[in-house]
Amino acid sequence: EFLREGAAINDFKRPDRVVVGTDSEDAATVMCELYRPLFLNETPIIITQRRTSELIKYAANAFLAVKITFINEIADLCEKVGANVQEVSRGIGLDNRIGNKFLHAGPGYGGSCFPKDTLALSKIGQDAGSELKIVDSVIEVNSERKKKMADKVIAHMGGDVSGKTIALLGLAFKPNTDDMREAPSIDIVAKLQEAGAKIRAYDPASMDEASHLMSDVLFCDGPYHAIENADAVVIVTEWDQFRALDLDRVRQTLAAPNVIDLRNIYQSDYMIERGFKYTSVGRAY
């Protein structure tokens, strides 16, 4: 566990910790010997009971899900009061008690681990008669967050996307993977289609998987193919190639210069200077 998709080998070789859950001293001895090379690199090894090790795993992922959901709600507040969530994130992330990871505002978490583990921890709490209200709220807020991103697109388009063509750049829940499990793009596409929009999409890795989860979507050969004659482009996944788009070509290719950046990969003033009508997440300036 604790292996990030796309970085599993490095995570295995340089883990923050190794947690072993066992009630057997013999098993503990074997596991310590197995992981001894890592221990020599000063990796902490925690030997604990099985129940405790399970909760360590669930609690760790749930806590990270809390951080993501927290900064997303702060992003909404920033938009209302005229603040910048990226500066808020940096300001609080420099506090060593908080740390700067998982404080990037966006369309909500997806993938396998966070949705599965928050639900599992919530169920364990229910079964044990110990309600986990924070975790339950995170699950609910994150689910609604994905739909709210479609609302952001609709609002940017003047409240009506009926008959409009919307280009999505990125479908997977994060870059460098084809994983579509619980990806925000699924809910975003569904709600935009419900509002009458036509969807074009491009993702470097996940389009085959996405084709089994989405209908009536035109999957394109590249970002500029997706953008061609679209009324707006929505950046959903922060693939590196989307950070280096030829913005002059993007503006010329779009039917209208609408960019909704759900990952804040571009700077607002820069995009406006380049002639775009630009919306991002949690940045009022």
Q: Residue 239 and residue 47: Cα distance in Å, rounded? A: 38
Q: In what order do the strands lie in the sheet with 232-235?
A: 217-219, 198-202, 165-169, 232-235, 258-261, 277-279
With tokens 């689910």, the residue in question is 143
Rounded CA-CA distance 84/283 in Å is 4
Distance CA 250, CA 8 (A): 35
Residue with tokens 């938009």: 79
Spatial neighbors of 275 by CB under 8 A, at least 6 apart, are: 251, 257
User: Distances from the Cα of 250 to the Cαs of 73, 228, 232, 274, in angstroms?
Assistant: 31, 8, 10, 10
3-state secondary structure of 8: helix
Active-site annotation, residues: 113
How far is the C-alpha of 29 from the C-alpha of 180, rounded, in Å? 39
In angstroms, the CA 226 to CA 239 distance is 15
Which is it for the CA torsion 68, 183, 135, 116, positive or negative?
negative
